Amino acid sequence: MRKPKGSEVDAYRYELVACGNQLERRRHAAAVPRGNEVLLRVLAAGLCHTDLHLSDGYFNLGGGNRISLIERGINLPHTLGHETVGEIMAMGPDVSGLSIGDRMLVYPWAGCDACELCTSEQGHLCHSPRFTGVFRPGGFGSHIVVSHPKYLFSLGGCLSWPPRRWHVQD
């Protein structure tokens, strides 16, 4: 694993422990990326309506019909957040073309990487999805592990950190 000196850190996640409840902050050991995995320090994570449905534990289909997410394979505790931006902290030994400190957008719709859909670049349609923030831990925490560099998109220099503050003038 390639990582910068002094990068041993404790990590935390805001986890959904029970559907319908508030997220709980929990400490975790920082992940050690293997193979093609990439560890990012989370800089920003968006909250969208999908996260709200996931935290409720179901999608409302109308007319009193629901799809239970627990019955669909979402295990608790779970870390939500499929809209994530981060900075590379460490990489598995098989990763190339990226550098520590690169700022990246996480593409969350990962498939199994083995089926016909995935091997034809249609992993978002995979029947065994591994969507970040849905079936894998997401960005509601200090760090996130991305399974492969192909799920990362460079932000180049378009993200400054810390973010600039917007000031409303009267």
| Average pLDDT of the residues in 69-80 | 88
Q: What is the CATH number of the domain that holds 25?
A: 3.90.180.10
Quote the tokens at residue 128: 């065994």
Give the Cβ contact number of residue 29 at 10 Å: 9
**Which amino acid is located at 165 in the chain?**
R
pLDDT value, residue 164: 54
pLDDT score for 161: 56
**Predicted local confidence at residue 159, as pLDDT:** 59
Query: What is the structure's pLDDT at 156?
Result: 79
CA 17 – CA 75 distance, rounded (Å): 9
Q: What pLDDT does residue 143 have?
A: 95
Question: What's the mean pLDDT in 64-86?
Answer: 90
- Domains in the chain: how many in total? 1
Domain of residue 79: give its range: 10-154
Is residue 85, in this structure, part of any structural domain at all? yes
pLDDT, tens digit, 9 for 90 and up, residues 127-169: 998 999 988 999 999 999 999 999 999 987 665 655 555 444 4
Q: Is residue 3 part of a domain?
A: no
Q: What is residue 41's predicted lDDT score, i.e. its pLDDT?
A: 95
- Residue 1 counted as domain residue: no
DSSP state of 64: T
Q: Is residue 87 part of a domain?
A: yes
Separation between Cα atoms, residue 120 and residue 114, nearest integer Å: 10
Residue 142 placed within a domain: yes
In this structure, is residue 55 part of a structural domain? yes
Give me the mean pLDDT over the 89-102 stretch: 96
| In-domain check, residue 4 | no
φ, ψ for residue 86 (rounded to 5)? -150, 175
Under 8 Å CB-to-CB from 143, ≥6 apart: which residues?
Answer: 9, 11, 30, 31, 39, 40, 41, 42, 86, 89
Q: Of residues 89 and 2, which shows the higher confidence score?
A: 89
Domain membership of residue 162 (yes or no) is no
What integer pLDDT is reported at residue 165 of this predicted model?
Answer: 53
Q: What is the pLDDT of residues 16-72, one digit of tens each?
A: 999 999 999 999 988 899 999 999 999 999 998 888 888 998 888 899 999 888 888
